[in-house]
Amino acid sequence: MTWARMSRPVTGRMVLWAFIVFFAVVALVNGTFILLSVKSFPGVETEDAYRKGLAYDSVIADDAARRERGWTVAITWRSSGPARGRLVVAVRAKDGAPLAGLAARALLRRPTHGGQDRTVRLSETAAGSYGADIALPGSGNWEVVLHLGLPGLAENQLRERLVVP
């Protein structure tokens, strides 16, 4: 049994069309990726980044002073429904005693979506315990940027990832 081979000769026109089709597919895929990335980018992440960059040495010094204080902070989420709950923050001094009288606020940011940030003021519910009831626009991953301060001291800032059911 013999196999008959039917082959067409490769011509310059075939090669030209193969190149045109190949690069058209590449351009179409790249255009799709560009469109998707531009539509999903929320914009500027940091307001006034240049000024903050110039003040970076003071940020490093403040961070070293905060580490010397030795505060321990525990952040928990107590769910009361879908994307609803209570943010609870417990703050203890270096010796383990609860820290009372702090000015506390929290910024909740959605790492994957812009425009859903929430800032809440945390009220002291017990010595060293601060909290607030929060309704978020959706469940999932949230970043908590916690600001804690005492009069006359540089503000403590802590970032922690939180999963909201």
Kindly report, residue by residue over 62-119, the tens digit of the pLDDT.
778 778 888 889 999 999 999 999 999 999 999 999 999 999 999 999 887 778 889 9
Alpha-carbon gap, residue 57 to 145, rounded angstroms? 20
CA distances from 30 to 17, 20, 22, 25, 26 (A): 20, 15, 12, 9, 6
If you average pLDDT over every residue of the chain, what do you get?
88
Indicate the burial class of 94 (C-beta count within 10 angstroms; 0-12, 13-18, 19 or more). Answer: exposed
Q: Quick check: pTM over 0.85?
A: no
pLDDT tens column, 126-147: 999 999 999 999 898 999 999 9
Alpha-carbon gap, residue 130 to 22, rounded angstroms? 61
Residue 1 has pLDDT above 60, yes or no: no
CA distances from 43 to 66, 110, 159 (A): 31, 14, 21
3-state secondary structure of 138: coil
DSSP state of 128: T
Where is average pLDDT lowest: 1-10, 91-100, 156-165? Answer: 1-10
Query: What's the pLDDT score for residue 38?
Result: 85
